[in-house]
Amino acid sequence: MNRVSTAFLKEGAYLILISDITVRELAKAPQRVQNVIGTLPTEFVEFCFVNEEAQALAQKYIEAGVLTPGDLNDAEHVALVTISNVNSIVSCNFKHLVKTSKIAQFNSVNLVNNYGMIDIRRPGDFLL
């Protein structure tokens, strides 16, 4: 893994949330990618899990046409981040998530459903 800015972590600017979805997806990745989680400073890592609220919001993204039913994992991931009041998602999913138009669509659904706005960024935005 490239160097995450530990100065920002130590200042409390970032908390790294890792979802059960991410863990499942990483299980299919090459070992070097799977090892990334182990390199993160544990004091700044928390795990979160899909629940009914996240599933309901994910369904609203699908109903609004933001994503298709085949993209349920992506929808649940964004929903979980949203309900967890996280500001940004770091993703390599340039097809479905890291797109200005998609971010606007997610935020439109979020605002209609009384959730906050999110940002979706590429990993390079957080690396030194």
User: Higher confidence at residue 64 or residue 36?
Assistant: 64
Give yes or no for residue 58 having a pLDDT over 90.
yes
Residue 2: band (very low, low, confident or very high) from pLDDT cuts 50, 70, 90: very low
In this prediction the pTM is 0.80
Mean pLDDT of the region 56-77: 96
For residue 59, what is the enclosing H or E element?
helix 52-63
Domains of the chain: which residue ranges? Answer: 6-126
> In 10 A of CB 52, how many CB atoms?
7
Mean pLDDT of 42-68: 93
In this structure, how many other beta carbons lie within 10 angstroms of the beta carbon of residue 61? 26
Q: Are 105 and 69 in contact (CB under 8 A)?
A: no
CATH architecture of the domain formed by 6-126:
3-Layer(aba) Sandwich (3.40)
In angstroms, what CA-CA distances link 51 with 32, 56, 105?
29, 9, 22
How far apart are the C-alpha atoms of 86 and 82, rounded to whole Å? 6
